[in-house]
Structure 1
Amino acid sequence: MGRNGAIVMNILVVDDQPGVRYLLDVLAREAGHRVCVAENGLSAIDAVRSFRPDLVFMDVRMPLMGGLEALGIIKSLAPGTDVIIMTAYESEETVSRALEGGALCCIAKPFDVEFIKEILTRYGWKRAALKAKAAGSGSCI
Structure 2
Amino acid sequence: MNRGRLRVLIADDQPGVRFLLEIVVKECGHEAYLAQNGLEAVEMARSINPDLVFMDVRMPLNGGLEALGEIKETNPEIEVIIMTAYGSEQTISDALEKGAWRYIAKPFDVNEIKELLIDFVNEYCRKSAKAVGFQ
Range class of TM-score, shorter chain:
over 0.9
Distance 1:135 1:35 in 2: 28
State the one-letter code of the partner of 1:114: N
Cα distance, 1:115 vs structure 2:
0.8
What is the DSSP-based 3-state SS (H/G/I as helix, E as strand, rest coil) of the residue aligned with 1:13? strand
What is the DSSP-based 3-state SS (H/G/I as helix, E as strand, rest coil) of the residue aligned with 1:80? coil
Is residue 126 of structure 1 aligned with residue 91 of structure 2? no
- State, as a whole percentage, how many aligned pairs show the same letter: 55
Consecutive unaligned residues of structure 2, counting only runs of 5 or more, are none
Taking the TM superposition and a 5 Å limit, the aligned residue runs for 1:66-77 are: 66-77=63-74
Cα distance, 1:127 vs structure 2:
1.2
Taking the TM superposition and a 5 Å limit, the aligned residue runs for 1:53-132 are: 53-132=50-129
Consecutive unaligned residues of structure 1, counting only runs of 5 or more, are none
Tell me which stretches of 4 or more aligned residues in structure 1 moved more than 4 Å: none
CA RMSD in angstroms comes to 1.6
Alignment match of 1:11 (pick from 8, 17, 27)? 8
Distance 2:61 2:75 in 1: 21
Distance 2:117 2:102 in 1: 13
Bigger-Rg structure (1/2): 1
Contact 1:87 1:107 in 2 (8 A): yes
Q: Normalising by structure 1, what TM-score?
A: 0.90
Distance 2:90 2:125 in 1: 33
Distance 1:101 1:63 in 2: 19
Distance 1:135 1:30 in 2: 30
Cα distance, 1:104 vs structure 2:
1.0
